[in-house]
Amino acid sequence: MKFLRKVWHYMKAMGQASGHRTDLMGWLARRPWLLLSTGFYEFSLLASNRVDSKLVALANLKTAGMINCEFCLDIGSALAHSDGVTEQQIRDLPRYKTSAAYNDEEKLVIAFAEAMTVTPAVDLDDLRNQLLAHFSRAQVAELAAAIAWENQRARINQALGVRPMGSAEGMVCAIPDRPAEAG
């Protein structure tokens, strides 16, 4: 049932989109094998259910924010709401270490996402050991795969100029406010 719920929320977020739904597909359709393999990996992650989807959503938002992928932050915010991430947690993500909006486990997962995303890469041994005190090896593997995939997704979207779709319109969204243009 978790899988079907995830698919439903993903379809709902896509349905709420107000534009630019086909940006990435337009690029990947030129390379059908890439489109197929991307879809397969997305499906595989949706079907994985060992880690609480709220934790994965927080990790994905942190990763997308560090890479500054507005598309990922837009759809990720919409999906995070359906996974139980609070508006305060979305607002406090840049300062998660000091925010009371997160419990210790959530902070640890966000720190793992941060460590996996920062370049140059940092030593992950300590964080991995801390995670293993809370999660099984299968859960840590799933979490690492989700974070690595969000890194790939965010970077390809940035490289190809994929724009936000407006999935999170009317909700708190992790896309940072842009300064008003002078003029």
Beta carbons within 8 Å of 1's beta carbon, 6+ residues apart: none
Contacts 24+ apart (CB under 8 A), 36-44: 41/149, 42/149
Q: Which CATH number fits domain 2-160: 2.40.50.100, 1.20.1290.10, 1.20.140.150, 3.90.79.10?
A: 1.20.1290.10
pTM for the model stands at: 0.84
**pLDDT one-digit tens code per residue, 88-136:** 999 999 999 999 999 999 999 999 999 999 988 788 999 999 999 999 9
Domain ranges, ordered by start, for the chain:
2-160
**pLDDT one-digit tens code per residue, 27-65:** 778 888 988 898 899 889 888 888 999 999 999 999 999
